Structure 1
Amino acid sequence: MTENQNQPREYDAVLGGQNPPPIGAAVLGGISGIKSSLASPIVEVKIAALSEALKYGDAGLDLIIGVLKDESMSVKIAAYSLLQNREYLNKKLHMPNYLPTFEFDAITVNFLPLKNSCNRHSAHFFPEDLGNGIVLEMVRIRGGTFMMGSPSNETGRYDCESPQHPVTVPAFFAGKYPITQAQWQAVMGNNPSKFKGEKRPVENVSWDDAVEFCSQLWQKTGKKYRLLSEAEWEYACRADTTTAFHFGEYITTEIVNYDASDPCGYTAGGLYREETTDLGIFPPNAFGLCDMHGNVSEWCSDRWNQNYNGAPTDGSSWETGKEDYRVLRGGCWASECIGCRCATRGASPASNRSSGNSFRVAVASLSSSS
């Protein structure tokens, strides 16, 4: 067969034109060449051109900003990643507005068994494609300051929840749910869970296992996934509330999976399921996060400390404390009601595995550099 002399080969340089260049080929023509690549129907070509655009100052930044409205989620997120750490642009454009949003209802329970109110909310998020139709939904949690710990008059509180203190948490992204068994399988290639179900949380995972998952996810996606710090977890759970639970002062098995067989001051009792449930069947909090109370306890990055004396106030992980013991938050399917409060703290050896323990992931930025 005669080779077409006009057809560019894999490593040829091509000038901007009507036909998209081969992936990996060099594109000449400066801004014109980048514009040509950004007009390509090939996602990989567009993403490669975005990085090149940074070399051309304001003109290149204008091209990247234009791509924020691209129909392809992959291209849009690549552009967002390049721009989000540029503070002046972030303020000017309010970058989170360029992420997709979802709407949801958050409830408030002030009197049992009634749902006192139901309010409509929305949140920004990005989907992380793990392959084979498995998607990890990461919700943007805006930064803010809150009072961490429980007030002295909260029923069932423990001394380890004091002193209550202000903490300022920078914005970050948190998993909408704890990691599912399908997501774990997509990244790790196995399923250690006792209570099987693709949409159920993965459990029987140690803190060490959870950290390894984050490492593998980082390698797979190029984003620095990690566990939530304890402060991030409580801030994300409370979602601007100050009550014992993010939905109010009362808890029911209609909205949380926990052990209600022994009623306490927060509940009138109810169903004890004795196992995990599918994620997302209970209403989210006002930040759009589901299953923050009950179902599975969630590993946090921090070492265990007996109280908050000397705790960080910037939302970071507390890396000094009891050796090899790590924090668990949220309570699980086997916890009584007081163990599911926003402020309840627990701990376990980092190597311990339990059918009540899982985790959700966080990432500070969509960029691989932060």
Structure 2
Amino acid sequence: MVENRDRAREYDAVLGGQNPPPVDAAILGGLQGVKKRLANPEVEVRIAALSDALKYGEVGLDLVIQALQDESKQVQFTAYYLLKNRTELKVEKHLDNVLSFFEFDAIAVNKFGKEISRRPEIARCFTEDLGNGAFLEMMLIPGGTFRMGSPETEKKRKYNESPQHKVKVPSLFMGKYLVTQAQWKAVAVLPQVNISLNSDPSCFKGANLPVERVTWYEAVEFCARLSQKTGRNYRLPSEAEWEYACRAGTTTPFYFGQTITTELANYNGERTYASELQGTYRNKTTPVGSFPPNAFGLYDMHGNLWEWCADSWYDNYRGAPSDGSVWESDFSELRVLRGGSWIHYPADSRSAFRHCNFTATMVSYFGFRVACFAA
């Protein structure tokens, strides 16, 4: 075999490359150099090392596979892009057996509702088979810390969105979509846990439309039956988890930016929020997945249906937990709803906007999505 003189050998020293300063410093080359760089605390160094790893056969391929579990989302995505078109059986099995990868674009708009950026994103998920041809996609929401509530400068903010406070949310899985009517029907025929369920409660009919006209107790029963079937602890998200997942790293009124339009979400567009043009009023729900997702790969977090959360209602955040957990009160008949709906104006769809209603309320603009622990 002819030796490639340009390729670093096991213990060669190489110069600079894509490593951080000092730019001209010598680093260990070859496979040992790749391993050392993959252990570097700098994300950019680990990313640059991944392509080099594939030059070293099976051992290098194993290093890239291991990088799918890296703490950095950017490193995970780089590893995924390097592996997704490879045909080795162990690669295919690993991508199939751990978590699937979902590719999409995250969109941002300015106050006029005009798109100002579109960036490719990848989120990780698993799919639950509910039976009867229905499947539930659960997105991995990475843990993190955020400021819950709205700043005093936010337009249309309410007193109950304050005081802003720091919350640390552990990683979790959350439904990619609102629970659909097909999913509801599949779970409604499962053995009863606490209460009975109407298999077809919705006003607007359609298998891929979100289920509505369900009470808070019925949403909890859905989670209980799903948990019993799957062995996972399905539940309604806490209010903090919901807002954290909705924002997906943003601090603007909407995860799209300074405003939204009826091309991005289903709400009553007869009023505007910022400087965008007046939109349409569809006067009904829309199929899940009709509009762009946020950076976590979640759809319809703004508009379509209000979403039941697990928490009791409080008039403000004084004394709220800082760990993302459910906040219960002695009076549990008022529960939190988030996200706005097809019938409400855009300000009500803001990431920080809070709403509540009685647990037995059953209307055509209340629905829910499910969550479960990542561990």
CA shift for structure 1 position 330: 0.2
- Shift >6 Å, 4+ stretches: 67-70
In structure 2, the partner of 1:126 is 126
Tell me: CA distance 1:111–1:323, structure 2 relative to 1, closer, same or farther (3 Å): closer
Equivalences for 1:253-272 in 2 at 5 Å? 253-265=262-274, 267-272=276-281
Counterpart in the other structure of 1:319:
328
Equivalent residue runs for 1:290-309 within 5 Å: 290-309=299-318
**3-state SS of 1:233 partner:** helix
Matched, 1:212 2:221: yes
Structure 1: segments with no counterpart, 5+ residues? 1-66, 77-97
Quote the residue 1:241 is aligned against: 250
Please give the per-residue CA displacement for 1:48-89, whole angstroms capped at 9, x wherever unaligned: xxxxxxxxxxxxxxxxxxx99784999x3xxxxxxxxxxxxx
- Go from structure 1 to structure 2 and tell me whether the alpha carbon gap of 1:68 and 1:205 turns closer, same or farther (over 3 Å shift): farther
Deviations 1:325-347 (A, max 9, x none): 00000000011011000000000
DSSP 3-state at the match of 1:323:
coil
Distance in 2 (CA, whole Å) between partners of 1:304 and 1:170 is 22
Matches within 5 A, 1:1-370: 71=93, 76=97, 98-189=98-189, 190-265=199-274, 267-320=276-329, 322-365=331-374
CA contact (8 A) 1:163 1:308 kept: yes
Aligned partner of 1:227: which letter?
A: L
Q: 1:150 to 1:176 in 2, by over 3 A?
A: same
Q: What's the TM-score, normalizing by structure 1?
A: 0.72
Say if 1:322 and 1:156 are closer, same or farther in 2 by CA, change over 3 A. farther
Contact 2:262/2:279 (8 A) holds in 1 = yes
Contact 1:251 1:266 in 2 (8 A): no
The one-letter amino acid paired with 2:313 is: W
Give the aligned residue type for 2:217: D
| Post-superposition offset of 1:112 | 2.2
For 1:239 and 1:191, how far apart are their aligned partners in 2? 32
One-letter amino acid of the structure 2 residue matched with residue 184 of structure 1: W
Find the aligned partners of 2:354 and 2:276 in 1 and give their Cα distance.
20
Q: Secondary structure at the match of 1:147?
A: strand
Q: 1:131 deviation in Å?
A: 1.4
Distance 1:260 1:306 in 2: 28
Give me the identity figure in percent. Answer: 53
Report if the CA contact (8 A) 1:101-1:122 is conserved. yes
Which whole-Å CA distance do the structure 2 matches of 1:348 and 1:113 have between them?
31
Tell me how far 1:111 sits from its aligned partner: 4.2
Unaligned runs of 5+ in 2: 1-88, 190-198
Amino acid at match of 1:351: A
- Letter in structure 1 aligned against 2:170: P
Residue 226 of structure 1 aligns to a residue whose secondary structure is coil
> Which residue in the other structure is 2:17 paired with?
none
How far apart, in 2, do the equivalents of 1:176 and 1:225 lie?
Answer: 14
Give the aligned length.
278
Could you tell me how far apart the structure 2 residues matched to 1:328 and 1:309 are? Answer: 19
Farther-moved stretch of structure 1 (321-330 vs 216-225): 321-330
2:39 maps to which residue? none
